[in-house]
Amino acid sequence: MANSREDESFYTKSGWRSQPMLRSLSEVHRTLVVPHPASFYRKVLAFAGPGFLVAVGYMDPGNWATDLAGGSKFNYTLLSVIMISNLMAILLQSLSLKLGIATGRDLAQASRELAIAACDLAEVIGSAIALNLLFGIPLIWGVCITALDVLVILLLQNKGFRYTEALVIALVGTIGVCFGLEIIFSRPDLIGIAKGFLPSPQIVVNPEMLYIAIGILGATVMPHNLYLHSSIVQTRNYELNPRGKREAIKFATIDSTFALMFALFINAAILIVSAATFYRSGHSEVAEIGDAYKLLTPLLGVTGASTLFAIALLASGQNSTLTGTLAGQIVMEGFLNIRLKPWLRRLLTRLIAIIPAVVVTVVSGESGTAKLLVLSQVILSLQLSFAVFPLVMFTSDKLKMGEFVNPLWIKMLAWLVAVVIASLNAWLLVQTFRSWLS
């Protein structure tokens, strides 16, 4: 009761106009027990999980398309973009979880903005491509099969949110093992990799390289992850007082940072394998996931290399559709304030993703999917500012955040990241219009 009274008091004294009508993910809100008192490691385990659900969005099939294109065309040069994007992601996700824990509302509830339109396109198409490569299932049927993730989420969340987290972590582990083996098979140039992590002025000067670089940024720092993270951290039943919230922010940040560093490994591994296999052999135009699948085994001379690639893609796509469905639910609840039964709400969010994916697949057929995936990531990058600027603004507002407001150095760094993202997007638009005019 004391926690409840303190929570209500927060809303009456804060800079928010009103208390949210709906709790974020109400069926799992504050359902996971945080042991108290407990050792540091037990606290780490109690808060572990949300970071990996968020990290899924940083290794989804959209990343595969941009990383494959970047590696096959420009060798290891764009590794620095992956690293910088990941560092931006760590900062922004830490602000997102802090917003959720400190204020009790997710970013969608706080901003009432919608910036999630292109997220599921890459994820649904990626799963469909993986099913096609592994089992020969036509793309259109593969897209429809991804709707089954709604049933999986319902089943797992009826058992508890930990089951959802466990499935996601298992699939993330599968992706990591597959690409760890692919790196061993491809025998990359270690000196070239080290140089690739150093930023090159070519990235800004070369329009084609810049286009893929911004696609990588869009695929790495994704707007729906900011909405998702600010919500799922509230599944933990931490104490609703300054000490409890401070502790929750600390351990949630540890979880998020660790998970996103793993995502950095996956993204870098995809680009490294692409560079070591395709660029080195002269196949500089490989951007299609299907082409990469067909060429891996013959170029590496390792039986099963292509199968490992497809298994990792399937795990990535299915993981991403699971978390994308959750993010869609959060936006519906937070932005639109729609009250629906959980199964109906998830079915609706999944249909919103599947219908455009079906249309795109029917129109484009099995060719051109890589261009669609890269384009979807560029669109996401253009949408990103509509999530990032409100996030930085809210977490820098003393009246709204109280003692959890961003310190000056975080505030300056966050605004710098927001401006850099917006500037890169503006540059991309200029280059795109120039190419159209020419």
The pLDDT tens digits of the residues spanning 208-224 come to 888 788 778 766 677 77
- Cα–Cα distances (Å) from 410 to 21, 101, 226, in that order, read 31, 17, 17
pLDDT in tens, 40-72: 999 999 999 999 999 988 887 767 878 888 999
What is the percent of the chain where pLDDT is above 90?
Answer: 39
Selected residue with higher pLDDT from 133 and 264: 264
- The pLDDT of residue 158: 72
DSSP characters over 210-238: HHHHHHHHHHHS-HHHHHHHHHHGGGEE-
Instruction: Determine the average pLDDT of the residues in 158-185.
Output: 91
Give 331's pLDDT tier (boundaries 50, 70, 90): confident
- The pLDDT of residue 8: 46
What's the mean per-residue pLDDT of the chain?
Answer: 81
- Cα–Cα distances (Å) from 353 to 153, 329, 358, 370, 399, in that order, read 16, 12, 9, 18, 37
pLDDT in tens, 19-48: 555 677 777 888 898 988 889 999 999 999
Domains of the chain are 21-437 (1.20.1740.10)
Cα separation, 411 vs 345, in Å, equals 36
- The pLDDT of residue 423: 82
Instruction: Determine the average pLDDT of the residues in 295-302.
Output: 91
Cα separation, 115 vs 120, in Å, equals 12
Q: Answer whether 126's CB lies under 8 Å from 322's CB.
A: no
- The pLDDT of residue 192: 95
- The pLDDT of residue 134: 87
Which of 256, 274, 203 shows the shortest CA–CA distance to 56? 256
Question: What's the pTM value of the predicted model, to 2 decimals?
Answer: 0.84
Contacts of 354 (CB under 8 A, 6+ apart): 120, 124, 143, 144, 146, 147
- The pLDDT of residue 305: 92
For the ranges 5-14, 224-233, 256-265, 416-425, the lowest mean pLDDT is seen at: 5-14
- The pLDDT of residue 184: 95
Segments of 192-347 assigned E as strands: 236-237
- Outline where 338-407 has alpha helix (H): 342-364, 369-395, 398-401
